[in-house]
Amino acid sequence: MKLDGVGAVVTGGGSGLGAATAEMLAAAGAKVTIFDMNEETGSAHAKKIGARFAKVNVTDTAAVAEALDAAQAENGVARVLVNCAGIVIGAKTVGRENKPHPLDQFRKVIEVNLIGTYNMISQFGARLGAAEPQGEERGVIVNTASIAAFDGQIGQAAYAASKGGVVGMTLPVARDLASLGIRVVTIAPGVFWTPMMESLPQEVQDSLGKATPFPSRLGKPEEYAQMVQSIIANPMLNGEVIRLDGAIRMGPR
Ligand SMILES: NC(=O)c1ccc[n+]([C@@H]2O[C@H](COP(=O)([O-])OP(=O)(O)OC[C@H]3O[C@@H](n4cnc5c(N)ncnc54)[C@H](O)[C@@H]3O)[C@@H](O)[C@H]2O)c1
């Protein structure tokens, strides 16, 4: 699919992987709208790359509908959706002093990472499905899972479950949207250098970089964006989950 002049929405586009993706799409000529809860970083990044910003919580059905309508009014129907909004927590199923995992935290991670992603997909697809195709396809959706969906570590039950849900729905959603000419592909990143990672202690970051066989370092957000670009460009890529991880396989901790 050509990107020049095409409407695109990137959730979580104010930071990390989403920010690099929004920048790549804007540089390729797409009319980008960043959907992010963080107004400060989201609007600053949008300004820097010549994109629109919408303060949106991806779990909020009405807010997503309103922001998609506003993006469409200004930029035309969005043909590209990249779902990068996400949160991470660490908590064991049975924690210190034999306390059970706080269920509200488990629910929150599922709500943002899995249900938020699905909320974006269904509302984006509904609008795009009503638009004219561009050549043989109407558009592309890229989701962000994580290698935690496959190699979830100690303390990652909620995060791994949320990303496992994104992996599991990739094929059925691609099948659902096939008749509309909308492709769906999920990237499962390994360990990338973003603000999400910066919150971890330096020694943990270093050991994660070293644990990656090759290249033996953290991934760069631009490398994630490059993967998104390749997915958009290749019409045969659909219904698949792609690990982007330098061959790392996470151990239990
Ligand atoms: N960085 C990594 O190593 C890595 C690895 C695997 C998967 N991922 C996934 O990639 C995605 C992006 O991660 P990142 O490292 O760039 O994180 P990040 O924290 O730098 O960026 C996430 C962005 O999402 C936004 N956001 C969070 N909740 C939201 C909500 N409910 N509605 C709208 N926006 C919301 C935040 O404001 C932030 O701008 C996440 O889904 C994450 O789980 C990251």
> Tell me: the pLDDT tens digits for 87-110?
999 999 999 999 999 999 999 999
Residue 208 corresponds to which tokens in the numbers above? 């994660």
**Terminal-to-terminal C-alpha distance of the chain:** 40
pLDDT-derived band at 205 (thresholds 50, 70, 90) equals: confident
Nearest-angstrom CA–CA distance, 124 and 139: 10
The per-residue pLDDT for 206 is 84
Nearest-angstrom CA–CA distance, 82 and 141: 6
- Ligand 1 pocket test, pick from 36, 68, 123, 156 with the greatest ligand atom count within 8 Å of Cβ, gives 36
Q: Global pTM?
A: 0.98
Q: Is 197 in the pocket of ligand 1 (CB under 6 A)?
A: yes
Residue 68 corresponds to which tokens in the numbers above? 């998609």
- Given 3-state DSSP classes, what are the helix, strand and coil percentages for the chain, each rounded to the nearest 5? 45, 20, 35
What number does the ligand 1 atom closest to the CA of 224 have?
A: 10
Does the active-site annotation cover 224?
Answer: no
Residue of 159, 192, 193, 224 marked active site: 159
Q: Is the pLDDT of residue 43 over 90?
A: yes
Mean pLDDT value across the chain: 97
pLDDT-derived band at 202 (thresholds 50, 70, 90) equals: confident
CATH of 7-191+221-241, one of 3.40.50.720, 3.30.465.10, 3.30.2270.10, 3.30.930.10: 3.40.50.720
- The mean pLDDT of 118-144, rounded to a whole number, is 98
Nearest-angstrom CA–CA distance, 217 and 116: 30
**Identity (one letter) of the amino acid at 32?**
V
pLDDT-derived band at 201 (thresholds 50, 70, 90) equals: confident
- The mean pLDDT of 8-32, rounded to a whole number, is 98
238 C-alpha to ligand 1 centroid (Å): 23
Give the closest residue (by CA) to ligand 1 atom 20. Answer: 16
